[in-house]
Amino acid sequence: MPENFSRRTFLKGTAGASGTAVAVSLAGCTGADEGFPSDTIEFVNHYSEGGGTDTNFREIEPHWEEEIGGSFSQTYEDGAGTRNGVNTVVGEDDLYTVGGTLTPATPSTIPADEEDENREPAFSVDDLEFLGTTVGDPALIRIREDDGRFDTLEELIAYAEDNPGELTMGSSGPVNQFTLAGVQLFDELDLDDIDIVPYDGGGPVQTGLLQEEVDFIIRAVYNSRDIEDETTVVGIFAEDNEWSEITDDAEPVNDVLETNIEYDPLSGFETYYVSMDAAEAEPDEYEQLVDSFQVAMESDDYRTDLADVDEFEPEKVDVRSPDETREIWEDAVDAFRAEQDLIEQYIQE
């Protein structure tokens, strides 16, 4: 298991030892196939226009284009729980199509499909070959700032134990990392009388918290910042809180509650990948995609551009290697597969 949220793990372990290592690798790849890319590379966003995946790609796009010596275009293939986008990418036989999606949302569809008598899994992890990750957004627990019943995570749990059946948790959907985080937390603490209310997206669940429809929510660091003034973060699902300035200096959940929750499957990693068949057929071109992507993600210009947007934006960057990314996906599949019954138990119909 890669260390949770250690930035620049891949390049520090390889190119980081020598400032020119990746540059040499890139130069070698370009020399091996000066014709790639000879056409525009299509980035298939598995979500709708205007969301976080759209924004994150637009931020890295010019830097990646500079490194690879080509151009990208972005299309949107949302729907079917991201299955549509995956099917589009894995159906391609060349490396001019790159997919962009989130874990664990996409890998969680595999165990969900396995449990569905009317559906076969749309894909397997082995159908994908990974380029790496762009951002990592760890899950956290938010309460209303003016709740009055509890101010800390310990007080929240104590209230739940003293008032069985009273508290409800909000999640942005029935099957995602936030639901999984709640299920694992309640299971470890033997809190079997907290219902999870699934909402249709992040905005609605945050509104539900503010309007007192639910008592607390599990969201992520960056996707919930628009309600930070009205809420308090009481715990974060990460080994270390590297985002303390924008998460109320919350402590890691395991440290506070002495639980043993595995964090990586609960973190929203944005993943870029290509068809495994295409990567195996064109290994040199695949290497160019990986190297250019990793160098672009680590570039000072990219970090400067992010800082111009917001001083905390560079902190969302979490670059993982292809092998680490595959491990994250496989862990997510295993985690959701193991918790299918518990998820059904806690989800409020």
Helix, strand, coil proportions of the chain in percent (round to 5)? 50, 20, 35
Q: Is the preceding peptide bond at 204 cis, omega within 30 degrees of 0?
A: no
Residues 206 and 185 sit within 8 Å (Cβ to Cβ): no
DSSP annotation string for 117-180 = TT---S--GGGEEEEEEEEEE-EEEEEETT--S-SSHHHHHHHHHHSTTT-EEEESSSSSHHHH
Evaluate whether residue 346 is within a structural domain: no
pLDDT tens per residue across span 235-258:
999 999 999 999 999 999 999 999
Q: Flag whether 170 is in a domain.
A: yes
| Average pLDDT value for the chain | 89
Distance CA 116, CA 80 (A): 14
Q: What is the mean pLDDT of residues 205-234?
A: 96
In which band, very low, low, confident or very high, does the pLDDT at 79 lie, cut at 50, 70 and 90?
A: confident
Domain termination residue (choose one: 239, 262, 285): 262
CA dihedral sign, ordered 191, 1, 333, 105: positive
The verdict on residue 223 lying in a domain is yes
pLDDT at 64 over 50: yes
**Spatial contact of 281 and 9, defined as CB atoms under 8 Å apart:** no
Of 45-49, 156-160, 280-284, which range is least confident? Answer: 45-49
* Pair 152, 216 in one domain: yes
Is there a contact between 320 and 261 (Cβ–Cβ < 8 Å)?
A: no
Instruction: Tally the residues of the chain.
Output: 349
Residues 126 and 147 both lie in one domain: no
88 and 146, same domain (yes or no): no
Question: What integer is the mean pLDDT of 202-220?
Answer: 96
pLDDT score for 33: 55
Together in a domain, 76 and 107: yes
Q: In terms of domains, do 331 and 248 share one?
A: no
Give the residue from 242, 262, 282 where a domain finishes: 262
Separation of alpha carbons 246 and 34, rounded Å? 45
The confidence band for 120, taking pLDDT boundaries of 50, 70 and 90, is: confident
pLDDT in tens, 37-46: 999 999 999 9
In a shared domain, residues 198 and 312 = no
Q: Is residue 33 part of a domain?
A: yes
Residues 100 and 46: beta-carbon distance below 8 Å: yes
CA distances from 91 to 71, 128, 228 (A): 21, 10, 41
CATH number at residue 66: 3.40.190.150
Judge whether 345 lies within some domain.
no
Q: pLDDT tens across 289-332, in order? A: 999 999 999 999 999 999 999 999 999 999 999 999 999 999 99
Together in a domain, 100 and 237: no
For the chain, how far is it from start to end, CA to CA, in angstroms? 35
Residues 87 and 197 in one domain: no
Query: Pick from 46, 103, 83: which is nearest to 327 by CA?
Result: 103
CA–CA distance, 98 with 109 (Å, rounded to integer): 20
- Per the structure, the complete domain to which residue 221 belongs is given by 139-262
255, part of any domain: yes
Same domain flag for 150 and 128: no
Confidence tier at 50 by pLDDT (50, 70, 90) = confident
Q: Does residue 1 belong to any structural domain of this protein?
A: no
**CATH value at residue 161:** 3.40.190.10
Is 54 part of any domain? yes
220 shares its domain with 163: yes
Strand partners, 235: 141
d(CA 219, CA 181): 10
**Number of domains the chain contains:** 2
* Residue 19 reports pLDDT greater than 60: no
Closest CA to 327 of 281, 248, 283, 262: 262
* Structure token pair of residue 250: 């919350």
148 burial class (0-12, 13-18, 19+ CB within 10 angstroms)? exposed
307 and 250 in one domain? no
> Structure pTM?
0.80
| 119 and 202 co-located in one domain | no
Q: Which of 218, 242, 262 is the last residue of a domain?
A: 262
Q: In what order do the strands lie in the sheet with 216-220?
A: 195-198, 168-171, 216-220, 139-144, 231-236
